[in-house]
Amino acid sequence: MPQTLLTPAAFAATDLVDHHCHGVVEHALARPEFETLITESNWDAPAGTSVFDSQLGTAIRRWCAPLLDLDAHVDAERYLERRAELGARDVNERLLRAAGIDRYLIETGYRGDDILDASEMATRADASADTVVRLERLAEQLVGSLEHGSAYAEAFRARLAAEVTTAVGVKTIAAYRLGLDFDPARPTDAEVAAAAEAWMRELSAGAEPRLEDAVLIRFGIWCAVDAQQAIQFHIGFGDPDVDLHRCDPLLLTEWLRLTRTSGARVLLLHCYPFHRNAGYLAHVFPHVYCDVGLAINYVGAASPQVIAESLELTPFDKALFSSDAFGLPELYFLGAHLFRRGLTQVINGWIDADEWDAATGESLVRKICGENAMRAYQLEPDAVFGAGR
């Protein structure tokens, strides 16, 4: 029997919240720099090869080219020429506005000087934008101003409290700096003071302020718990600084038990290839949410499969959308575009198999696109059409 399928109109019924992304760069990009922004590798591809020969590169040629007035599947060289002809600002505006993202939650802790800030992003995208604070960056900004390790704990708490008067949540990169098998227990004040003192000694000896101390990273996370924040965790793949086998979200299980009733919400970002594990955690822990951002862009045409897997155990009220885009407007556009296409394909597959009806699909779309992020971040609905517009 013919089923009523989900249509693009399902997405028009809700605002789309990108709950984790960064800002775009806005300068002329030569091919090498562009290529570094479409790979998670930190190094050049082998001689004679190009990172355009990938799912993401193919998706850029397919979907972004027409937005720059080119044919779909144009070659990379021509694509980059056209990009240069239009100029960075025009390209940013075209692709960001085509993304159809209504609200950006922008994490500001990574290469903040190279990218547009939240207010500029809001303008370019004709959308609203809020900020998310990186806990480790906060510590790195703070530590230089202290005289004694014993002042660290109080100073950090105060700084965090000040930040979250405007920021809508926090982010931790414990996955990168420690691995997710970190000690789940709350560190004691004495441990914090001693660790801060040790770090300050390193800084006095001339070290760059880069927070790698396990006690202080854990302390930052626990401060966010106490402040009942929405706490984003990098999970799963990323650049090769990460030990991916230590980024399985299941390693957070004990910490999730300890924080379940705290009032904090935990947002598991990216999660690939552990997205099924993340879905399990979102299923059993009331305060856990997850997404497959970043992965959708990188797996490109294969993203419906990843989206489907992420919707196996994850409750419909716990799945989120993010692009995790950084630098290139292509990544925001594709993050949203491939998400909408993939989610539609997955839901319509279930409707077509006579398992779902369209109403269930439409409800899921509203939840993932916006309602779940609104709940997890305790966002005010009005603010969606706020300062950025």
**Which residues, 300 to 339, sit near a copy of itself by CB under 8 A?**
300-302, 304-306, 308-309, 311-313, 315-317
* Maximum alpha-carbon separation in the chain: 74
Identify the residue among 14, 36, 58, 348 touching a copy of itself (CB under 8 A).
58
Cα angle 168-171-172, degrees, rounded to a multiple of 5: 160
Helix, strand, coil percent values for the chain (each to nearest 5): 50, 10, 40
Is residue 40 at the binding interface for a copy of itself, with CB under 8 A as the rule? yes
Compute the least distance from the CB of residue 185 to a copy of itself, in Å.
Answer: 16
Identify the residue among 359, 378, 380, 389 touching a copy of itself (CB under 8 A).
359
| Closer Cβ to a copy of itself, 257 or 389, answer by number | 257
Is residue 183 at the binding interface for a copy of itself, with CB under 8 A as the rule? no
Residue with tokens 């409290």: 161
Read off the tokens for 136.
Answer: 């480790």
Compute the least distance from the CB of residue 370 to a copy of itself, in Å.
Answer: 14
Is residue 73 at the binding interface for a copy of itself, with CB under 8 A as the rule? yes
Is residue 212 at the binding interface for a copy of itself, with CB under 8 A as the rule? no
Is residue 35 at the binding interface for a copy of itself, with CB under 8 A as the rule? no
Compute the least distance from the CB of residue 54 to a copy of itself, in Å.
Answer: 5
Q: Which amino acid is at 118?
A: A
| Closer Cβ to a copy of itself, 82 or 375, answer by number | 375
Contact of 268 with 282, CB cutoff 8 Å:
yes
For 246-267, letters b (16+ CB in 10 Å) and e give: ebbbebbbebbeebeebebbbb
Read off the tokens for 74.
Answer: 């144009």
Is residue 235 at the binding interface for a copy of itself, with CB under 8 A as the rule? no
User: Which residues have a Cβ under 8 Å from the Cβ of 184 and sit 6 or more positions away?
Assistant: 252, 254, 255, 258
| Closer Cβ to a copy of itself, 85 or 357, answer by number | 357
Stretch that binds a copy of itself, among 78-86, 102-110, 199-207, 358-366 (CB under 8 A): 358-366
Is residue 55 at the binding interface for a copy of itself, with CB under 8 A as the rule? yes
Residue with tokens 């900004």: 141
Identify the residue among 81, 114, 276, 383 touching a copy of itself (CB under 8 A).
276
Helix (H) or strand (E) holding 189: helix 189-204
Distance CA 195, CA 275 (A): 34
| Closer Cβ to a copy of itself, 304 or 370, answer by number | 304
Identify the residue among 176, 280, 321, 326 touching a copy of itself (CB under 8 A).
280
Is residue 254 at the binding interface for a copy of itself, with CB under 8 A as the rule? yes
Is residue 39 at the binding interface for a copy of itself, with CB under 8 A as the rule? yes
Compute the least distance from the CB of residue 4 to a copy of itself, in Å.
Answer: 11
Helix (H) or strand (E) holding 155: helix 152-163
Please report how many Cα atoms fall inside a 13 Å half-sphere around the Cα of residue 142, on the Cβ side: 24
Is residue 123 at the binding interface for a copy of itself, with CB under 8 A as the rule? no
Is residue 245 at the binding interface for a copy of itself, with CB under 8 A as the rule? yes
Cβ of 189: how many Cβ atoms within 10 Å? 12
Is residue 14 at the binding interface for a copy of itself, with CB under 8 A as the rule? no
β-bridge partners, 266? 231, 288
Is residue 43 at the binding interface for a copy of itself, with CB under 8 A as the rule? yes
